[in-house]
Amino acid sequence: MRSPLKPRRAGEQSPPPENPAADAAAAPVQEHVTSDTGTSLEHLRASSGADATGATGMPQRPSLADKEAPPVLVKVRPPFLIAVSRILWIASLAAGAAGVIYMFVIRQAQLPAIADLVRAVDGTRQEATYTTAADILFWTVFTPAVVVILLQIMLQVSFAARRPNVRWWQFGSLMFSGGVFLLAREIVAFGERGAPLEQILLVQLALATLGLLVSALPPALAWTARKHDIRRGPVAPSAGAGI
């Protein structure tokens, strides 16, 4: 029989191991088992986290780097042809304004000549009738000339905003301006004082025609069809993206 265990006295050392060689050989095995156990636990925890994520339906936080940004409206300089068209239209409007001012300046000087035109049609009326008719004819030419300028200014604003079918409206205003030119040449723009007015109105009509033709070229049409200038690009990573 084995002797019963005796209590260890204070200061007494524990007995040495019975087989030191066996314990030394078993130590690497124990460390390997411990390492394998730790690896298995980590793998189990990762699998449990993935299963929990899939079960709850919560996606992982997406990365904010290298993402395509939403479209942003930007202000881009228009093509060269659009700039040329605007310059021509502005020059046409300036010529038209100069023509309107000059027409108003020569009004009093041209009224007797206009009255003579009316008298040549019917000379049996009183003199006041011819004066009134001459005044009416003058304003019949002056008012449409002012309306053409105001209309073309509004159309230029719409053209800059890339509104659809603006070129057709500009073409209509150009035809109307041509009618005003023909009417002014017959009623007001004649004689020594009327000759400069005819030239000014002709320059206005020519510049407007060139402006419309330039705006109808393919690059200008593509700029109008695009309607908006949009910038796209990757999103810059934010400061807290890596947190």
Nearest CA among 182, 195, 146, 110 for reference residue 118: 110
The pLDDT-based confidence of 42 (bands split at 50, 70, 90) is: low
Between CA 192 and CA 199, with CA 198 as vertex, the angle to 5 degrees is 105
Report the C-alpha gap between 82 and 217 in whole angstroms: 9
Find the mean pLDDT for residues 183-187: 91
Convert 142-175 to b/e letters by CB count within 10 Å (16 or more is b): bebbeebbebbeebbeebeebeeebbebbeebbe
Q: Please determine, for residue 215, whether its predicted confidence score (pLDDT) is greater than 50.
A: yes
Which 3 state secondary structure label does DSSP give 225? helix
Percent of the chain with pLDDT over 90: 40
> What is the overall mean pLDDT for the chain?
76
Report the C-alpha gap between 51 and 54 in whole angstroms: 5
Find the mean pLDDT for residues 81-88: 93
Report the C-alpha gap between 97 and 99 in whole angstroms: 5
DSSP class per residue in 72-112: EE---PPPHHHHHHHHHHHHHHHHHHHHHHHHHHTHHHHHH
C-alpha 117 chain-centroid distance: 54
pLDDT at 33: 42
Q: Domain map of the chain by residue range? A: 79-226
pLDDT at 29: 44
The pLDDT-based confidence of 8 (bands split at 50, 70, 90) is: low
Instruction: Count CB-CB contacts under 10 A for residue 110.
Output: 22
The pLDDT-based confidence of 128 (bands split at 50, 70, 90) is: confident
Give the type of residue at 73: L
Q: Please determine, for residue 174, whether its predicted confidence score (pLDDT) is greater than 80.
A: yes
> Residue 102 class from Cβ within 10 Å (0-12 exposed, 13-18 middle, 19+ buried)?
middle
The pLDDT-based confidence of 224 (bands split at 50, 70, 90) is: confident
pLDDT (tens digit per residue) in 54-63: 445 566 666 5
pLDDT at 59: 65
Find the mean pLDDT for residues 210-228: 85
pLDDT (tens digit per residue) in 22-31: 454 444 444 4
Show the tokens assigned to 50: 């993935």
Q: Please determine, for residue 236, whether its predicted confidence score (pLDDT) is greater than 80.
A: no
Report the C-alpha gap between 88 and 72 in whole angstroms: 32
Whether 166 and 158 have beta carbons less than 8 Å apart is answered as: yes
The secondary element (H helix, E strand) that includes residue 230 is strand 230-231
The pLDDT-based confidence of 225 (bands split at 50, 70, 90) is: confident
